[in-house]
């Protein structure tokens, strides 16, 4: 499987040539027909896709999928859509989901901005998640960070009123950058309080990487903003 995307000059990611395991390849053959969504099918109807009405959670950049899988398994009352560009992570996620017979998860192997523009209906998402995105820490690469003012507004358009955007990062500079963007963004309010970071919500699993970082004294910053209009 190859990721679906449109041509653009600046991307927030690079496609890593990671080799898929046999298990990940087999997962695409077995489970993609159930879990896979295509960018080129256009705007989705979540009720039709999942066969029910339920709160919708969208996550961009789920990596190898362990965290998103854990959330979908722990919150069966919600529907989850994951968006990722790296095939090994998608293969692992749908293998886990298929093995556990999860029915509340769907996946795009595609560019997040394209999916947000062409596929996610407006005012439908209850929770939008962006966990540990590439920080592009060199100043000359900051323009590649996925969270920019335009993307913040793209997220707001798909959120329901009162829905939340939850970001987490282990780069303090990126945390400050994101807090500045969201604090002045139209139609948002900080769910903690003005210019304050949030406590880690119970629904966000703590990753092994995060736990190891905490033991080494590294910080993690959660940012939660609600759509107000």
- What pLDDT, in 10s, does the model give residues 26-69? 999 999 999 999 999 999 999 999 999 999 999 999 999 999 99
Burial of 228 per CB tally in 10 Å (0-12, 13-18, 19+):
exposed
Domain layout of the chain by residue ranges: 42-227
Q: What is the CATH number of domain 42-227?
A: 3.40.50.150
For residue range 135-151, list pLDDT tens digits in order: 856 666 467 789 999 99
Q: Which is catalytic among the residues 66, 134, 170, 176?
A: 134
Percentage of the chain lying above the pLDDT 70 cut = 91
* pTM, full prediction: 0.90
- Name, in order, each residue with C-beta under 8 angstroms of 202's C-beta and a sequence gap of 6 or more: none
Does the pLDDT value for residue 9 go beyond 80?
Answer: no
Percentage of the chain lying above the pLDDT 90 cut = 76
CB 170 within 8 A of CB 218: yes
What are the start-end ranges of the E strands in the chain? 36-37, 56-60, 79-84, 105-109, 125-131, 159-169, 188-190, 221-227
CB 197 within 8 A of CB 223: yes
> Quick check: is 134 catalytic?
yes
Per-residue pLDDT at 137: 61
Burial of 220 per CB tally in 10 Å (0-12, 13-18, 19+):
buried
């Amino acid at each position: 499987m190859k990721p679906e995307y449109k041509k653009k000059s600046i991307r927030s990611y690079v496609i890593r040539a990671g080799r898929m395991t046999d298990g990940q390849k087999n997962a695409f053959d077995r489970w993609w027909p159930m879990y896979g969504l295509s960018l080129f099918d256009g705007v989705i109807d979540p009720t039709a896709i999942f066969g029910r009405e339920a709160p919708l959670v969208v996550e961009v950049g789920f990596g190898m999928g362990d965290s998103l899988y854990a959330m979908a398994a722990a919150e069966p009352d919600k529907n989850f859509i994951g968006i990722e560009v790296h095939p090994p992570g998608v293969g692992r996620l749908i293998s886990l989901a298929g093995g556990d017979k999860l029915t509340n998860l769907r996946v795009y192997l595609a560019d997040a901005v394209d999916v947000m523009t062409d596929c996610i209906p407006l005012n439908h998402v209850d929770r939008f998640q962006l966990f540990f995105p590439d920080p592009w820490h060199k100043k000359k690469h900051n323009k590649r960070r996925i969270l920019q003012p335009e993307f913040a507004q793209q997220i707001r358009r798909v959120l329901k009123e009162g829905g939340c955007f939850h970001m987490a990062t282990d780069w303090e500079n990126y945390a400050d950058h994101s807090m500045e963007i969201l604090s002045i963004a139209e139609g948002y309010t900080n769910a903690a309080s003005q210019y304050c970071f949030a406590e880690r919500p119970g629904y966000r699993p703590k990753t092994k990487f995060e736990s190891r970082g905490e033991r080494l004294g590294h910080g993690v910053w959660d940012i939660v903003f609600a759509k107000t209009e």
